[in-house]
Amino acid sequence: MPSAKKDQRIEDFFEERARAGDGPFGIAYAILNLADAQIATARALNKLGVADASTPFGAMENLAMELKRVGEAVSGALSEAGTTIADALSKEGD
């Protein structure tokens, strides 16, 4: 059985053997790829953020802050519109 080259990464060796048709190495290579995909998924999910003071705001936290800001702006605009309508109606009644 061929052995890995001195400076060859294990993933590269497993891929080489898997592509050469060595079944057990094909399975091992697939498991390595699944592990890499799981790590990438975990990192992407972590970027969504948690309320952790040691990390910058994540996507979900940022979205919540923006929704709050927009809600406050809409609330202010509706309040102003209501005041304007009330003033106009009271002037009509005079």
**What's the whole-number mean pLDDT along residues 66-94?**
88
| Average pLDDT of span 45-65 | 68
Domain limits of the chain?
1-46, 51-94
- Distance in angstroms (rounded) separating the CA atoms of residues 73 and 67: 10
Q: How wide is the angle at C-alpha 64 spanned by C-alphas 73 and 41, nearest 5°?
A: 150
Using CA atoms, how far apart are residues 80 and 94, in angstroms rounded to an integer?
A: 21
- What does pTM read for this prediction? 0.50
Residue 55 has pLDDT above 90, yes or no: no
pLDDT at position 31, please? 94
Residue whose pair of structure tokens reads 């996507």 in the numeric block = 59
pLDDT single digits (tens) 56-76? 667 777 788 889 999 999 999
